[in-house]
Structure 1
């Protein structure tokens, strides 16, 4: 029996807002009983700067969850406690390896109710952390969004979260659209599937445009050194000061040590939904895929990291992805009809190309926001190691010196160890690692390349295998032949044209991507 196509309402998913809540997130818990939580988060930046946060939280009473009724209240409470927890852990000169009962007890109960881990997930910092400035305007408009909570109070941090919120809102209509396409494929309706895929490709192009706006109001230096450390998890954080993770002190005689990954865009259900409906398979990092001349990918092992990230999604969202995976049929449908219905094949391949372009933009952003700052940190340390050591007082994800083979889990990877390893390996970005202990650059580059593998037309696969390079890099004359390869510098040995990448202007000035750094992705996906 063919499984039924999932109904969005069964998973609390909105047909217009997608994985964002159908009702806007609460700006305050209505029960005055929780005013102490609200007061701490409202003054979070001041308490962190004055180094009084931990003492204030230690004196809090352990509040019950009995006053939480509607789902919006549970979500608001989860967000408040996650911000308090990460500020408590990372808000001092050295990290705290213990969360006190005023945070631990209610956070564990709320996390169990929402089917989420007790850590600052993508849901806490993005999905449930926004409000519109004007109620009669759309929430996929960045100019109409504001955050409810931040660690730093900076525009940069708000913008970093809100770009993801706007992308979730802009991409929301794709969810019912592609469920409709799955139903149409069951009815052998080529015309409807083609229309749905065409609309999908157009929406993906809009999402890439939104992601490109990250540079407008989020400075890489501020992100790397001030924002990112607060989003770090507790897994593989020995050198950052958490060798055992974090002790979740629930007041019992046997509290438990726990280790969790930090916040990551890999926890976005929307991106994984795109891969599922298009039939894109992601293999374990380093595992080779099909040759370019094959008819799409063969059976592939499930990528453990991607599956692991579903544990960091709200439970209903993760179940929705699993149920969609059971009914996804678009790739097979297109493969059967591509020979006789060229518009269908073109529309499908256009979706792959647009999704690959989105990941290309992701690669560019991680280069600027993570790789380049880490290299700058390494250069500063190499110029004056004594001065650098003397200047560093705080211990966190951005300052820890560690063995690159045991990178922390968090929003990305540590600066000094990674940068030192890069210099040791000739500035090879492949040495860097990301959330979940994955090889950050190798993982993201492979995920980007795998996006084009299901293409049904050879010209599409060839187009998506092109290599982006920096304009004029190492090129004295246009079209100059490479002495080692005997081919024009704007072509690869297999004849694929190498396109040029121009500079991008942003808050921190004009920048370009250096060829060897074009791997990776912000927030590890």
Structure 2
């Protein structure tokens, strides 16, 4: 597999899968590797993940979660992939417990889910929340193992509902992440070409970035095929909301203090921030960049290192300006492709959120209308 290491020394981008894991996520725990107490708990978590939609439909989810008891040291006994899976399952259960549609609000997460969610998140250096990294990047399987990460070959591992709309919504994002892989690898080659003044490398990299972003937009344009806006807004989007004053029971480190976390959001993806950084699309020191910085606390450190390495890379725009001709045209094609992706994304947020709910904020706490419009106009302004 074509992977490239960033200048930071610890950030890897897969040319085939981008920020998706190079080894597909676990579909269940291998309980044979653990002692009986841990195995029993992990089996319970697998069962709850499978039965989550039925438990929510029958108003049985909260009692089932409240009855869970996590063995001491369970997180420490897990492999890295198992830790990711427990983070995924406990994140879904926590959001389902807090946001259980049709039932009264609650102000806590029971110990059996709160402790493993917190401890897994600490081990993975992330926020203890169902953020984009686990909701999408670690929540997929292939329908046919030998085939690629095409949209029609993807399915989810955990869902809140049985609606195809939910699975389609998530797999569209996963397919976009996969389609970003060649473009992200090309961003690295672009910087190498600029450093070494290799114009053929620069041109080829820009053309690959353009193709990748255009493909991502094509996938985004398929969102409406199996995701009805009303089903999205009413049936499963509420589960992506953040936590506002929620106590993580049993987590000694939090000392019973209510916690506040943003919900999972596509704004937490690092694909476009990486491309922005590589191309030199600068959104300026404004309230927008402060908001983007706040979102970064929900993004994996190893992925942030990729963005950081691009931000510290060579200045692409002056090089392209001096090069003129086909290199400048290819650069402008890239900028216009990024702007078009943002235009399509903005249209979808209006169709799926604003028109359905009237909400001005996304699940990640973003004032999405102003946020996305500013990103789009800033991007367009960077054509040469």
Per the normalisation by structure 2, the TM-score is: 0.91
Tell me which of 72, 89, 94 is aligned to 1:80: 89
Tell me which of 120, 134, 139 is aligned to 2:130: 120
Q: Deviations over 1:67-120 (max 9, x none)?
A: 302x21111111000000001101151222101111111111110111110111
Q: Give distance in 2, aligned partners of 1:436 and 1:60.
A: 28
1:52 CA drift (Å)? 1.5
Q: Report the CA distance shift for 1:437/1:133 in structure 2 as closer, same or farther (over 3 A).
A: closer
Q: Give distance in 2, aligned partners of 1:12 and 1:191.
A: 24
Structure 1 range deviating more: 216-225 or 6-15: 6-15
**Corresponding residue for 2:34?**
none
Q: Give distance in 2, aligned partners of 1:231 and 1:451.
A: 28
Tell me which of 70, 80, 96 is aligned to 2:106: 96
**Corresponding residue for 2:194?**
185
Structure 1 range deviating more: 6-15 or 170-179: 6-15
Q: Report the CA distance shift for 1:196/1:445 in structure 2 as closer, same or farther (over 3 A).
A: same
Q: Give distance in 2, aligned partners of 1:454 and 1:251.
A: 47
Q: Report the CA distance shift for 1:57/1:113 in structure 2 as closer, same or farther (over 3 A).
A: same
Q: Give distance in 1, aligned partners of 2:115 and 2:208.
A: 46
**Corresponding residue for 2:221?**
212
Q: Give distance in 2, aligned partners of 1:331 and 1:77.
A: 43
Tell me which of 316, 320, 327 is aligned to 1:344: 327
Q: In the alignment, is the contact (CA less than 8 A) between 1:282 and 1:450 conserved in 2?
A: yes
**Corresponding residue for 2:46?**
38
**Corresponding residue for 1:439?**
367
Q: In the alignment, is the contact (CA less than 8 A) between 2:183 and 2:211 conserved in 1?
A: no
Q: Give distance in 1, aligned partners of 2:241 and 2:190.
A: 38
Structure 1 range deviating more: 150-159 or 171-180: 171-180
**Corresponding residue for 2:20?**
20
Q: Give distance in 1, aligned partners of 2:280 and 2:305.
A: 18
Q: Give distance in 1, aligned partners of 2:76 and 2:365.
A: 38
Q: In the alignment, is the contact (CA less than 8 A) between 2:88 and 2:135 conserved in 1?
A: yes
Tell me which of 131, 134, 151 is aligned to 1:142: 151
Q: Give distance in 2, aligned partners of 1:40 and 1:82.
A: 12
1:371 CA drift (Å)? 1.6
Q: Give distance in 2, aligned partners of 1:18 and 1:96.
A: 38
- Aligned partner of residue 129 in structure 2, secondary structure: coil
Q: Report the CA distance shift for 1:319/1:256 in structure 2 as closer, same or farther (over 3 A).
A: farther
Alignment of 1:394-413 (within 5 A): none
Q: In the alignment, is the contact (CA less than 8 A) between 2:203 and 2:330 conserved in 1?
A: yes
Q: In the alignment, is the contact (CA less than 8 A) between 1:8 and 1:15 conserved in 2?
A: no
1:440 CA drift (Å)? 2.4
- Aligned partner of residue 350 in structure 2, secondary structure: helix
1:8 CA drift (Å)? 9.0
**Corresponding residue for 2:266?**
265
Q: Report the CA distance shift for 1:443/1:302 in structure 2 as closer, same or farther (over 3 A).
A: closer
Pairing 1:246–2:251 present: no
**Corresponding residue for 1:395?**
none
Tell me which of 336, 359, 381 is aligned to 2:342: 359
Count of residue correspondences = 369
**Corresponding residue for 2:321?**
335
Q: Give distance in 1, aligned partners of 2:191 and 2:156.
A: 35
Pairing 1:56–2:56 present: no
* Runs of 4+ residues deviating >4 angstroms: 435-438
Q: Report the CA distance shift for 1:451/1:172 in structure 2 as closer, same or farther (over 3 A).
A: same
**Corresponding residue for 1:470?**
none
Q: Deviations over 1:439-464 (max 9, x none)?
A: 321211111011122211xxxxxxxx
Tell me which of 166, 174, 187 is aligned to 2:183: 174
Pairing 1:66–2:49 present: no
- Aligned partner of residue 83 in structure 1, secondary structure: helix
Q: Give distance in 2, aligned partners of 1:143 and 1:45.
A: 23
Pairing 1:195–2:212 present: no
Q: Deviations over 1:297-324 (max 9, x none)?
A: xxxx870111111111112111222222
1:328 CA drift (Å)? 4.4
Pairing 1:47–2:55 present: yes
Q: Report the CA distance shift for 1:193/1:325 in structure 2 as closer, same or farther (over 3 A).
A: same
Q: Give distance in 1, aligned partners of 2:261 and 2:293.
A: 15
**Corresponding residue for 2:381?**
453
Long gaps (5+) in structure 1: 236-244, 288-300, 375-414, 419-431, 457-525
Structure 1 range deviating more: 200-209 or 74-83: 200-209
Q: Report the CA distance shift for 1:9/1:267 in structure 2 as closer, same or farther (over 3 A).
A: same
Q: Give distance in 2, aligned partners of 1:25 and 1:352.
A: 33
Q: Report the CA distance shift for 1:62/1:359 in structure 2 as closer, same or farther (over 3 A).
A: same
Q: Report the CA distance shift for 1:155/1:435 in structure 2 as closer, same or farther (over 3 A).
A: closer
